[in-house]
Amino acid sequence: MAESSHFTEAEYYQKCFDSRAYMNNFYSRPEGHSDENNYLSFVLGCLSRIFSTGEYKGRKLIEVGSGPTIHTVISACQHYHELVLSDFVDGNREEIKKWINNEEGCFDWKPIIEYVCELDGKSSSDVEVKLRQKIKQVLKCNVLLENPFHPESIEPADCVITSLCLEAACKDMQLYTDALCGVTKLLRPGGVLVMVGVLGETFYRVDEIHFSCLRLSKENIEDVVSKLGFTVQEFNIFSAQDQETNKVSDFEAFFVLVALKTKG
């Protein structure tokens, strides 16, 4: 099953998404996949800078749609007491739990953790221990539901991160808007939203398996975020270096957005 003729929705991911192949292909080194020219270094660098100031901190951080990965919370873990990770795909949650429990054969995140810790000026061994201790829950989530964690109710967090999730889950802008609305309800007034995503992408591949992506522009995202009552603090963009040689995706740019929820 190399390609889907329609938008690849939740059950396709449950059936076809190879969590370990995804990590091996995109997260085995700090630069990311060789076809995508240092996109991962850009993301990790942005997250390091965003959280190293200490401006964003609190009791709880929730990541919505973690995939099988932990890289987006490495820099943040120093500033929050409790981390909640989540994903729709069972295999993705299992991979995270294997790493938390340091099970034999779990994915090796050390190269990424060491890279981030060098940026942050922290000891990688200390951060690895703290990260495992602070991830308190790995929940099933479905961003197409009004409450992504239904039937569970989660107390609003001080920070919500979502990375490469909504554009892969939502086939049109209405669904994307509704999904982001549900995600932002997980955030307390005055809290910070950190979004990592792609612009101009319609597909990506994990080995030979094709997955769809909603094509987004910077203007699309700014418009939705603003309408949901957020003030954008920064919108960092990393443009594709050589789209002609990229066989694993057709992204035009990666972005890292930081926005504050209007206090109510």
Is 65 annotated to bind a ligand? Reply is yes
**Of 159, 160, 179, which is closest to residue 168 (Cα–Cα)?**
179
Asked whether residue 191 is marked as a ligand-binding residue, the answer is: no
56 has binding-site annotation: no
Alpha carbon separation from 66 to 126, 141, 143, 227 (Å, rounded): 22, 10, 12, 25
Radius of gyration of the chain (CA): 17
**Residue 22 is labelled as binding a ligand:** yes
Instruction: For residue 136, give Cα distances in angstroms to 32, 102, 124.
Output: 27, 15, 20
The residue count for the chain = 264
CA distance 42 to 255: 9
Instruction: Give CA–CA dist 197/39, Å, rounded.
Output: 11
- Calpha distance 78→152 (Å, rounded): 26
Q: In 3-state terms, what secondary structure has residue 189?
A: strand
Return the residue matching tokens 């995503």.
197
Whole-angstrom Cα distance, residue 187 to residue 139? 16
Ligand-binding annotation for 223, yes or no, is no
Instruction: For residue 217, say whether it is annotated as part of any ligand binding site.
Output: no
Instruction: List binding-site positions.
Output: 22, 27, 65-66, 87, 92
Instruction: List binding-site positions for S-adenosyl-L-methionine.
Output: 22, 27, 65-66, 87, 92
